[in-house]
């Protein structure tokens, strides 16, 4: 279970840091350059939120895949050492203890 908690913590840290770090920067960029001046004021917030969310999701997809595979094999005592193998070979299954 410790490996699963570590994978979840890593994934959530990267996702949250990416999203919360990128969204305000993109919104400021769009607002400073008046790129969306013909649209409602909230357009820059919506567009920057969508873009930051997509970036964060793509950045954490490999870690999320390893986490999901670990959750699938909780009964067979999956260890954190299996995570690199799960990322590199999507068809492998964790070692059973």
Which tens digit of pLDDT belongs to each residue from 6-33? 778 888 999 999 999 999 999 999 999 8
pLDDT beyond 90 at 35: no
Judged against a pLDDT cut of 60, whether residue 39 lies above it is answered with yes
- Nearest partner of 90 among 65, 60, 71, judged by Cα: 65
pLDDT-based confidence at 76, cuts 50/70/90? low
Q: What is the pLDDT of residue 2?
A: 56
| Average pLDDT over the chain, rounded to an integer | 79
- Burial state string for 18-54 with b = 16 or more CB within 10 A and e = fewer than 16: bbeebbeebbeebeeeeebeeeeeeebbebbbeebee
Per the model's pLDDT, the better-predicted residue between 42 and 86 turns out to be: 42
* 3-state secondary structure at position 31: helix
């Amino acid at each position: 279970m410790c490996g699963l908690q570590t994978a979840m913590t890593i994934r959530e840290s990267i996702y949250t840091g990416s999203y919360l770090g990128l969204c305000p920067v993109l919104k400021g960029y769009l607002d400073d350059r008046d790129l969306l001046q013909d649209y409602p004021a909230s357009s820059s917030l919506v567009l920057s939120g969508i873009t930051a969310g997509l970036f964060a999701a793509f950045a954490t997809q490999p870690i999320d895949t390893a986490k999901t595979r670990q959750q699938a094999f909780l009964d067979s005592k999956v260890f954190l050492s299996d995570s690199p193998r799960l990322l590199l070979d999507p068809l492998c299954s964790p070692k059973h203890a």
